[in-house]
Amino acid sequence: MTLAEAKAALDRIIKISRVHLYKPIQIAEILYRDRVHRDLDLSDLNTYRNTSKAWRNLITDRFVGRSSSSSAEYQEALFTKAMPPQTLVILGEENRLKGGIIEAYIYRRFAERFTQLSSALNYYDTHSTTDFEVREFIDLFWSEPGLRRSIDKVYEIVVYSLFSVLVEALEVTITISINESKLGLLEEFSDFTEMVIGLTQDKYLLNLPAKIYRVGVTNAADRGLDMYANFGMAIQIKHLSLTPELAENIVGSVTADRIVIVCRDSEQALIVSLLNQIGWKAKIQSIITENNLQGWYEKALRGSFSAAIGKRILLTLKEQIIAEFPASDNRDFTEFYESRNYNLLTDDLWV
């Protein structure tokens, strides 16, 4: 393998990475350790396979506020597929020869990605209920190559902000009760019903506010649940192009009886066709498209009840975006970058 081929492999990883760039940063820290501490053998995966995750997490915790939550299998794919040891050996030689040039290259790309993100996120700071357009906001991420890998998360946040505020504003409630003819069983398992269900022999009827929850941050390969409701509904968000395998995973990975799928308008017919083919359409409560979202956002922000819910939706959107993409202070990153002398490195290949 040539240096150009090794660089191309690294560039592919950067290109398909989400905003947080977990895998490229892990590579940068392996190369840094190899260059500075010289206690690794880049040809021997066992010398950095597991420890490099901790080195990566120190950086990402500092600059993006979280560590990778990807499955072990997904993280391991970095070395088995994308960046095997023989490729790292070539990058390591170049990196040592030029004083950390590849580390600097990766961290420059990281800084560029967050500059792009800040520009896109500036949209919700410069718009209010009078002129916020949800399709424009989504398209900021879709049209920017550096952010496109995170479009599903942005789309998920857009959906959650609307759904959660509307369910709360409607004051939807759910009732949990036990059949009175089963009071004997309730008495026998009183500790279970109190600890697990929240019901006792004196209180076998419970009213709760309905809520929608985001499952949390997942990696790019996860195809599981995106959101769920405490009234029995599961929600799948899919903004990227669908394949038959992905359609099967959408339903097959979620055990709820009522599933709501949110997707682009162009994907709706394909989703219906695929679900019919695999015989799972009965599990789907509804398919919501981007046109539906746009119409609901328009009414929520500028309709009859906009005064009651419009600002709450945009505030929720902002809070969720910040939680999902928590970038640190630029000055902190600049200090880190300069402390390693990356700012002094230049090279035509790694510009």
| CA distance readout (Å), 102 to 122, 184, 237, 295 | 30, 70, 36, 47
Of 107-116, 190-199, 210-219, 309-318, the least confident: 210-219
pLDDT at position 223 is: 47
Residues 36 and 131 sit within 8 Å (Cβ to Cβ): no
Side chain identity at 53, as an amino acid letter? K
Tokens of 251: 């339903």
Q: Tell me: the pLDDT tens digits for 141-178?
A: 877 766 777 777 888 899 999 999 999 999 999 998 88
| Burial tier of 108 (Cβ tally within 10 Å: 0-12, 13-18, 19+) | middle
Mean pLDDT of the chain, nearest integer: 85
The share of the chain scoring above pLDDT 90, in percent, equals 44
Specify which of 109-118, 240-249, 270-279 reaches the highest per-range mean pLDDT: 109-118
Residues 138 and 151 sit within 8 Å (Cβ to Cβ): yes
| Burial tier of 339 (Cβ tally within 10 Å: 0-12, 13-18, 19+) | exposed
- As a whole number, mean pLDDT of residues 179-189 equals 87
The candidate with the shortest Cα–Cα distance to 262, out of 230, 281, 282, 234, is 234
Which is higher by pLDDT, 209 or 17?
Answer: 209
Which is higher by pLDDT, 269 or 59?
Answer: 59
Chain centroid to Cα 115, Å, comes to: 18
Q: Is residue 23 pLDDT above 50, yes or no?
A: yes
- As a whole number, mean pLDDT of residues 45-67 equals 91
Which is higher by pLDDT, 310 or 285?
Answer: 310
pLDDT at position 218 is: 45
Cα distance between residue 102 and residue 83, in whole Å: 14
| CA distance readout (Å), 335 to 66, 105, 245, 251, 288 | 20, 16, 45, 47, 46
Enumerate the domain spans of the chain.
3-117+328-350, 151-172+210-324, 173-209
pLDDT at position 253 is: 58
pLDDT at position 229 is: 87
Side chain identity at 351, as an amino acid letter? V
pLDDT at position 64 is: 82
DSSP string for residues in 54-67: HHHHHHHHHHTS--
Which is higher by pLDDT, 42 or 267?
Answer: 42
